[in-house]
Amino acid sequence: MVRFMSLIAFSPVIASSDAFVPSTFSAKIRTSTSLFSSNDAKITESRRDIFKKIALVTASSATAILSTPVANADSTKKPTKEELQRIKTGKEGIDYLLANWEKVTTTCRDNGGECKRDAEPVRRYMGLRSTTDPLFQIEKVFAKVKNMDDIDFDKLEEYFNAIEEYNSAISMSNSMAFISQFGEYNPSGGKEEVLKYLNESEKQVRLALKSLNTIVGILEL
């Protein structure tokens, strides 16, 4: 099973993903892009490419922090009924998210104001926003399953493969959703850019759900 244990030193990240706000993110972009001179013929990457790379690194760092297990966690513990219920509840949340994708990812101002697409709910349903989200650091629960008395050991390989695929999809979905959130701040960006990465995030959410369905099936939740 893949563990996201490394942090990328390129981008300082605060433990709570709520710390990512446009002002600090824009500051990072200004700092990075100031290193490049428009008169330097050797520079071939556009400001847009630079933005995407910075956003991807930052989002990946956030996922790494949220996904890193506690080092001294007891690896012999069995998951509690409440923890197993979190898996089921989280899956049901993703089911709802995908069934109502456009509605959930659209926010409107009060009193009939402008509506826009917003990827923030995606990260919330995937357990990447708050400790109260059902799927927050759910990999810790996944790791305890091997200690269950009634686990079918013949299915453990399939189980751990599903976890690996789930973690990969979660990481990519988070990255795409994060970039989408700041698509309008991207040089040459706008609503089309927001929607482009939001759609990419949806594809990864569907892959994550497929793996989660496998996990739920094996655990007979």
Read off the tokens for 137. 């650091």
pLDDT in tens, 121-150: 999 999 998 999 999 999 999 999 989 988
Q: Which residues share a beta bridge with 106?
A: 117
Residue 187 has pLDDT above 50, yes or no: yes
The whole-angstrom separation of Cα 160 and Cα 202 is 23
The DSSP code sequence of 171-191 is HHHHHHHHHHHTGGGSTT-SH
Question: Which tens digits make up the pLDDT trace of 5-20?
Answer: 333 333 333 333 443 3
Q: Is the dihedral of CA 179, 180, 185, 188 positive or negative?
A: positive
> What is the distance between the alpha carbons of residues 5 and 198, in angstroms, rounded to a whole number?
26
115 pairs with which residues across the strands?
108
Contact 212, 125 (CB under 8 A): no
Average pLDDT over residues 186-208: 87
- DSSP state at residue 152: -
Tens of pLDDT along 42-72?
A: 444 454 454 445 445 544 444 444 444 444 4
What's the pLDDT score for residue 6?
38
Q: How confident is the model at residue 190 (pLDDT cuts 50, 70, 90)?
A: confident
d(CA 217, CA 220): 5
